Structure 1
Amino acid sequence: MSTLSLVLLLGSITSIALLASYLDAKFQWCLNDWMNGKCSNPFIASKAALQQQRIQEKDAQIEALMARIETLEAIVTEPAYELNKKINAL
């Protein structure tokens, strides 16, 4: 095997691996898993889609909680709230 054919072989294997990794990240395909024998159909992204949906739900929940915390902070730091609390303590 000549040096040129060895370099071309290694370059093509590297290119295929990089392309598979890019497609996995972009389209949530399981090409790397398929090449390693971990799944039978690389184009079914049920786990990845479900995980992405859960992440989006958690992000939405975090946004809602942050809005509630900001509202509570605004209420608690108002001077009228502190005065009302002192009056009620008497």
Structure 2
Amino acid sequence: MSTLSLLMLFSGIATIALIACYLDAKFQWRLNDWMNGRCDNPFISSETKTLKACIQEKDEKIDALTQRIETLEAIVTEPAYELNKKINAL
């Protein structure tokens, strides 16, 4: 093989890989997984829907925990809480 044909072959493979990465990021088609033998059909979006649901559930938990922390901070920083702590220490 000549140098030109090798260069064209490698650039073609790199172009296909970059396009697959772009389509994976844009549409979640899982083409890279399909090319590496990790999935049967790259266009089935059942796993992406479950992943999105898990991420949404995790975000909701984080929001709930953030609200609880804010409430606890408000309770602890109240002057009445410090007074009650001093009274209990006596």
Structure 1 residue 38 displacement after superposition: 2.7
RMSD in angstroms over aligned alpha carbons? 1.9
Structure 1 partner of 2:34: 34
* Distance in structure 2 (CA, Å) of the matches to 1:62 and 1:38: 31
TM-score (norm 1): 0.81
CA distances 1:21-49 after superposition (whole Å, capped 9, x unpaired): 22112221111122223322111122233
Structure 1 residue 74 displacement after superposition: 0.8
Where does the alignment leave 5 or more consecutive residues of structure 2 unmatched?
none
Where does the alignment leave 5 or more consecutive residues of structure 1 unmatched?
none
TM-score (norm 2): 0.81
Question: Is 1:50 aligned with 2:53?
Answer: no
* Distance in structure 2 (CA, Å) of the matches to 1:31 and 1:74: 49
User: Within 5 Å, which residues of 2 pair with 1:1-90?
Assistant: 1-87=1-87, 89=88
**Contact in 2 for aligned 1:24/1:30 (Cα 8 Å):** yes
